[in-house]
Chains A and B, each alone.
Chain A
Amino acid sequence: MYVNGKGRRVAITGLGAVTSIGTTAETFWSAIKRGENGIRPLKSLPLQDLYITVGGEVLDFDPRERCRTKALQLADRYSQYAGVAAAEAMAQSRLETPLANGERAASIIGSGAGGLATLESAYEDLFIHKKKATHPLTLLRTIGSSAAAHVSIEHGIKGPVFGTVSACSTAAHAIGLAFQLIRGGAIDIAVAGASEAALTYGSMRAWQAMRVLSPQGCFPFSRRRNGTSLAEGAGILVLEDMEHARNRGADVLAELKGFGMTSDSADMVNPNIEGPSSAMQIALDDAGLAPSDIDYLNAHGTATTANDINETRAIKRVFGKHAENLSISSTKSMHGHCLGAGGGVEAVVCVQALREGFVPATIGFDEPGDECDLDYTPNEGRNKKLVHAMSNSFAFGGLNAVLVFGSGAG
C-alpha cells in the first residue's frame, strides 16, 4: 500500500516503557494521566559533593523478576530497561517469537551514553581499588549496541540490528530510521527506541559541571523553570508494515506517519530556530499533513532557559496562527529528561494520547515564562479528540528529530 509516493504505511502495534513513574507502558500512562511527579530526591547514588540531588530514578525494578533471560539479568541496567520494554512491546503486538521471518525484522535501540554505570564501576575498581582486572562482562555491558543486540537475540531478529547515538534525539532517530526501513520495504517489523541509565555519580557530577540542571525539578515553559532534571528509562515501539499487521489481525494502536531530521550546524549547546523549525516542517511534509492537522504536540520542553524559548519560537514559525490552538505539553515535567530515551518514552505518550483522546499536562507550572505564551496544558491534562500528534526531540549539538503520529484509523 503506497501513500504520498513514499512507500508503505507503518503501524505501531506494541508499546513498552520503563520510567520513574511506571515500569510498564500501562502503569506509566496511568501515572501520566494522574500528573505524577517522578523527580524525587536521589536514593541510589552517593550525594557527596552534589548540589543537584534530584532526578527521575527507576526504583521499582528488580532485574531478576523482570528480565527473562540470564544474559539480560547480567547486562547493564540500560540494556535491562530496553530488554524489558521491548519484551512488553512485543507481547502487546502478539507477534510470535522467535520471529518466523527474522531477516525481515530490525532491532534499532539507541542510548545517549550506553552502559555508563558499568564503565564507572570498572574504572573505580581499576583506578581506586587497584583491582587486577575488571569484571569480564565490562565490555559487553558497556557498548552502546548491547541493548539492540540483546533484543535481537531474545526475539529472533536477524535483519538490521544497531544502536543510534544523538544525545537527546537518540530514540527519535532510532524510531525514524526504523520507520523509513519499513516504509521503503527493506523490513516488515522493527523494535525501535532507546534506553538510558545514566544516573550515576560520575554522570551527575559531569552534568552538574555543565550548570544546566535544576536543584528543584523540571518545570518546562513556566516562570520558575531553572534547568532540567535527569531521569532514566526506556521507551520502545513495535513498528510494522500496515498490511503485515492487518493481515495477521493485529491491533493497530496508531500509525507513524512522518519523520524529519535536521542539524542546526551551529553550536553545541545553544539551539537556533532554523534547525528545529525545518525538522518539524519536514516531518509534516513527510506525513502529508498541514500544520493545522496536528492536534497535540509533545514538546522537547527541557525547562532550560534556552530550549523553551527557542522551541516556542520554532513552533510559532511552523504552525503560524494554529500555534495558538495547538495543545502542547512537556511530559518531562513528570518523567524527567530521559536523555537518549526521551523520544521513545514520549512516543509512548503520543500513541496513548491519540488512543484515549487525552492531552497530558505540563505539571509544576506556576505561570508562563517570558516568551512562553502558547497553550502548554498547565497542570491539568484534558480530554480532547486527537487525530495527529507530533513529538519533538532536540539534542545537544543541534541535532533535531521530529516524529508525527496518526490515530491509525482509515
Chain B
Amino acid sequence: MDDVAEKIVAILRKNMRNPDKEITLETKLSDLEIESLDLAVIVFDIEDTFGIQIPYNANEDVQDFATVGSVVERVKSILAGSHASGAAA
C-alpha cells in the first residue's frame, strides 16, 4: 500500500469498533462494520487529513465507497485535481 492508502486505512481503523481486522484494498467497508454515519465521519477525517473536499452524498454515492480501494481511488483523483487547480490559485 502506498502513503495515501496507508493514511486512509489508519483513518478507517480509528473509526472501527474492532480495529485489528485485516484490511486490504479489496476489503468491503461493510465487512469492517462501517455504516453510513461512520462513513460521514470517515470522509470528514479524510478531508481534514488531506486538505481536500470530497463531494460525498450518503443518498447516492454509497457504491463509490464500497471498498477500501474505491475510497483510495476517489481520494487520489481529487488530490490530482486539487493539485492542478492549486497551481492557478
CB neighbours (8 Å) of B62 from chain A are 305
- State the majority secondary structure of interface residues on A: loop
Q: Are A270 and B59 in contact (CB under 8 A)?
A: no
Q: Which of A209, A226, A306 contacts B40 (CB 8 A)?
A: A209
Q: Are A304 and B59 in contact (CB under 8 A)?
A: yes
Closest to B56 in A: A211
Instruction: Report A346 CB to chain B, min CB distance, Å.
Output: 22
A269, CB-defined interface residue at 8 Å: yes
The tally of residues in B whose CB lies under 8 Å from a CB in A reads: 15
Q: Are B55 and A212 in contact (CB under 8 A)?
A: no
CB neighbours (8 Å) of A210 from chain B are 37, 40, 58
Q: Which of B39, B44, B55, B60 contacts A51 (CB 8 A)?
A: B55
B36, CB-defined interface residue at 8 Å: yes
1/0 contact string of B15-50 vs chain A (CB within 8 Å) = 000000000000000000001110110011000000
Near B by CB (< 8 A), chain A positions 40-65 give: 51
Query: Which of B39, B56, B58, B59 has the largest count of A CB atoms less than 10 A from its CB?
Result: B59
Instruction: Report A117 CB to chain B, min CB distance, Å.
Output: 24
How long is the Cα–Cα vector from A262 to B37 in the complex, in angstroms?
22
How long is the Cα–Cα vector from A66 to B35 in the complex, in angstroms?
45
Q: Are B40 and A211 in contact (CB under 8 A)?
A: yes
1/0 contact string of A299-327 vs chain B (CB within 8 Å) = 00000111000000000000000000000
CB neighbours (8 Å) of A270 from chain B are 35-37
Known contacts A209-B44, A211-B43; decide if A269 and B36 are in contact (CB<8 Å). Answer: yes
Near B by CB (< 8 A), chain A positions 167-222 give: 209-215
A139, CB-defined interface residue at 8 Å: no
B77, CB-defined interface residue at 8 Å: no
Q: Which of B35, B53, B57 contacts A211 (CB 8 A)?
A: B57
A141, CB-defined interface residue at 8 Å: no
A258, CB-defined interface residue at 8 Å: no
How long is the Cα–Cα vector from A305 to B39 in the complex, in angstroms?
15
CB neighbours (8 Å) of B58 from chain A are 210-212, 227, 304-305
Chain A residues near B (Cβ < 8 Å): 51, 209-215, 225-227, 267-270, 304-306
Q: Which 10 pairs across A and B sit closest by C-beta, in order of nearness?
A: A211-B58, A227-B59, A305-B59, A226-B59, A226-B60, A211-B40, A269-B37, A211-B56, A212-B58, A210-B40
